[in-house]
Structure formats: C-alpha cells, structure tokens
Chains A and B, each alone.
Chain A
C-alpha cells in the first residue's frame, strides 16, 4: 500500500535564490520521519516543494517509482500524497463533516463510509463536533480536522507542517499519540516539527536542515543521543 519517498539533489525556492539546496532524504514505507532545524532552515519549504508549491530548479522527488516533480499540486492527492499546512488548515465556514468529506473529492476512497469510520476512530473527539463549523473549533481540534481531511483520501504519504504549533501541552501529547496511531495504519508520515525532543522520540528517522542544506540525519534515537544535535536543538540536556 505504501511506497518509499526518495528525495535527491533537491534545489528549490520561490522564484528568487534557492531556499533549499541539494537536499537528500529518504522515508521508508510506513515510518515517521521528522525534519528539524532552526528558523529559516527551509523545513517548510522542503514540504511545500514535495507538494509542488515552490519552483524546483534541480533534483528529484520519487514516490515509489513515480516522479513527483513537475506535477501540479492538485494532482498529488490522487497520487496518494496528502498535506496538512501549518496554519489555515481547515475550511472555517464548513462543518467538520464537510471538511472531512472534501478530503475524499480528489481521490475517492474505495469504501468512503469505512474510511470515514476509521478516521473518526482515530479522532473520537470529532464525533461530537461533526455538525459544527470548523472555524469555531480550538487549535488542537482544527489540527485533528485537518489531519482527518488528509487521511480521508486513503493516502500513502502524509506531509505535516508543524502539527503541534501553538497547541497546549495536552494537545501536543495527543497529536504525537495520534501520529503513532496513524503510522500503525501503514501510512508514511513526513513532518516538520519545532518540538524536537518529542518529535525525535516518536520518529523512526530525523533529518536536520541548516541554511537550506542537509546538516545531519539518523534514527530518532541516534539524533537524541548526538552531542551536536542536543547542544543545538535540544537545549543541551540529555534526552
């Protein structure tokens, strides 16, 4: 069901000088990979590039055997790639149910009712809010709606841009637990995170970007124990 994501020599930007240069990373099927780095390192640009929202000047993005560079953004959902932007990630005037339904339009799942049931079992909090406009929900609930929408197309790969940004500690923990639940369903996750320690604790692999380039990569455990990474991103304390 899932396929390997392989990024090689990726250079991209927004029309001007490149924001990310010569990026290489691989995400194995069914694993969680996290991209870390200081502000302005190009983490979100990397996700946007995979989702065809920037201008690629070199490199390739392979999902399985399929080349994603050159695809239109709207064509990626039918290819099995879903994305959850960091902010403005729900349709505010539409109900939670309608937001989830929109997730099926580009790539209708084989059994919509079963997919909806599976998504709602991941986010039981949403069951009581189905008829409420998504714009009236809290930040954490909106994040769940956004993730739910992304999962409604039965994707192979989900891209998450800072899913815990601005959330309370309670929701932060909840979202990380949810990511582990989503991984259990076999979906590959590539996410950008600011909460480096928690992200590395649940991630299979981590990739650190600095100034738009690869700086370090390894398993979550390796990076948590790496002196350099601890000093730069984890406040120096042991994990």
Chain B
C-alpha cells in the first residue's frame, strides 16, 4: 500500500497536474481560436527558462519566481498572437497550425541560443520527503504541484462560470458567430485565452522542470500527452482538460505498477505510449471527449 502511494500515486498525480495545467491552455485555444497550438509545449519551456533567468538574479525558491515566468510566457503568447497568428485568422486554420509549429521551433531555438541545450536543474541536491502518518513519504514538490493544481481548478471554475469574462469565453467557445451577434468583445476573449493559457503553461513548465530537469525539449516532449488530455476532456472544455490531464497522467504512471504478478503491467519505457493509445482510442470511439467538447 505505502509503496503504491509513495512511488506511484503521488508521482502520477504530479504528472497529471502538469498535463492538466498544460492541457487547459491547449483546450481553450482550440475551443476559442479554433486551432491546435503546437507551440504550447515550448511556451512551457520558455516559462521554465524564465525561472532560470530570474534565479540567476534572485536566488530564492524557484516556485517564488513563477510569476516572472508567467509574465514572460504571457508576453510571448500575446506577441506571437498579435504578429503571427492574428494575420492568419481569416485563412483556413491549417495556416495557423503550421505557423504554431514554426513558433515552437523559434521558442526552442531561443532557449537553446541563450541557455544552451544541456540539462539544468532548478534546485540542486535532494530534498527530504514529508512523512505522513509514519507510513507515506511524499515529496514536497509533488504536494505543491497537486495542491496548486487543485486551487487553480477551483479558481478556473469560478472564473468560467461566475465572471463576465469567463462566461464570454465559454460563449465564444460555444458559438463564435452568435457571440459576435450578441455584441461580445471577442478580441478581449482572445486576449484572456492567451493570458490564462500562457500563465498556466508557465506553472506547468516550472513543476515539470522541478520534477526532472530543465532542457530545451521539456515542453515539446509533453505535448502529446497534453493533447491527449485536452481531447479526453473534450476540446473547448477547460475543466474537462483538467480532468483529462489527471486521467492521462494516472494512466501513464500506473500502467507500470505491478497490478498482476510481480512485474510491471507495462514496461516503464512504454509509459508515454499509453497517452498515445488513449488518444487514438478516443479519436475513433469518442472524439467529443468525456465532457462533450467540440468534434475535431
């Protein structure tokens, strides 16, 4: 029991949190701007290196530097939207999708150019785990990631259901033409989509790097499971993406638990394939996702 909790459940919830935070942005951008944002993983990476840059000036706990990373990713997202995506808005979405591939390469290259391509750690050394009930040994980082994501989920739900901007975002995701006919400020909705998506990407990037290490491919490597999470939750359903993130994260991590016999159910080296299999299964059998999102 304690082995399952210590080595599988909490790490799985942590990975799930990272996927959830990244998937929210992907799902919102897909729902409101109607395109698959392939640069979202690299936006996460940019946030991670933003923390590294800030840490060089201000040597404090990296999590305290997350607001700096958020500011950086928000600026980067609004900048690329204004100068790269917006001019393509009236063209078929495939132009924007391909453009986002280009932006992904640009972000990654900037990171490599400035910080190099080797792995870097945000916090050196080993931090002792928290011991709960004399049995469970939980990494503080894991707890921080899970609790932060839970708080964000509550705040995001409140924002989307109880505020004017949040409801406008849901309205545009539901039907952009009717939203325009209703007089909604779609430019403001688009701006908030990037702000929220980019801010959450920075937080996800911080936890992903703290969980392993920072490297230029950090976000790109997480893109597939995050897309799987967004599709699982239903495209355009941010709360669905949150749930999808946790499900994909849990499925990946718990697939290597020894459920039957002594060996891992699936070899840990095939862990990432789990998200891929779930995504293919969903696209075939339930393309609208669990929360009845937009059909791809």
Contacts and interface: CB of A to CB of B under 8 A. Distances in A.
Q: Do A and B come from one complex?
A: yes
Given A88-B177, A88-B178, A105-B164, A94 B170 contact: yes
Interface string B170-190: 110111011111111110000
B184 A98 contact: no
In which size bucket is the chain A interface?
A: 20 to 34
Interface in B142-185: 161, 164, 167-168, 170-171, 173-175, 177-185
A153 interface: yes
Given A85-B178, A88-B177, A94 B183 contact: no
Contacts of B185: 74, 105-106
- The interface residues of chain A, by DSSP majority, are classed as loop
A102 B184 contact: yes
Contacts of A208: none
A192 interface: no
A68 to B, nearest CB: 14
B175 to A, nearest CB: 6
21 contacts: A53-B181, A74-B184, A74-B185, A74-B186, A76-B183, A77-B182, A78-B183, A88-B177, A91-B171, A91-B174, A91-B175, A92-B175, A94-B174, A98-B161, A101-B167, A102-B167, A102-B184, A103-B182, A105-B184, A106-B182, A153-B183
B135 to A, nearest CB: 43
Q: Which 4 A-B pairs have the closest CB atoms?
A: A106-B183, A77-B183, A91-B174, A91-B171
Nearest to B186: A74
Contact of B168 (A51, A89, A102): A102
Contact of A88 (B175, B182, B292): B175
Interface in B175-217: 175, 177-186
Interface residues of B, number: 20
Contacts of A103: 182
Nearest to A99: B171
B182 A102 contact: yes
Interface of B: 161, 164, 167-168, 170-171, 173-175, 177-186, 292
A83 interface: yes
Nearest to B161: A98
B34 to A, nearest CB: 16
A75 interface: yes
Contacts of B183: 73-78, 105-107, 153
A149 B182 contact: yes
B170 A93 contact: yes
Contacts of A73: 180-181, 183
A218 to B, nearest CB: 30
Contacts of B178: 85, 88-91
B182 A94 contact: no
A181 B168 CA distance: 29
A230 to B, nearest CB: 34
A92 B170 CA distance: 10
Contact of B174 (A83, A93, A106): A93
Interface in A96-112: 98, 101-103, 105-107
Nearest to B185: A74
A75 B185 CA distance: 9
Interface in A159-193: none
B181 A51 contact: yes
A102 B171 contact: yes
A73 B173 CA distance: 18
A80 to B, nearest CB: 11
Nearest to A149: B182
A105 B174 contact: no
A94 B167 CA distance: 8
Nearest to A90: B178
A103 B164 CA distance: 11
Given A74-B185, A91-B170, A94-B171, 8 more contacts: A75-B183, A77-B182, A77-B183, A91-B171, A91-B175, A102-B171, A105-B167, A105-B168
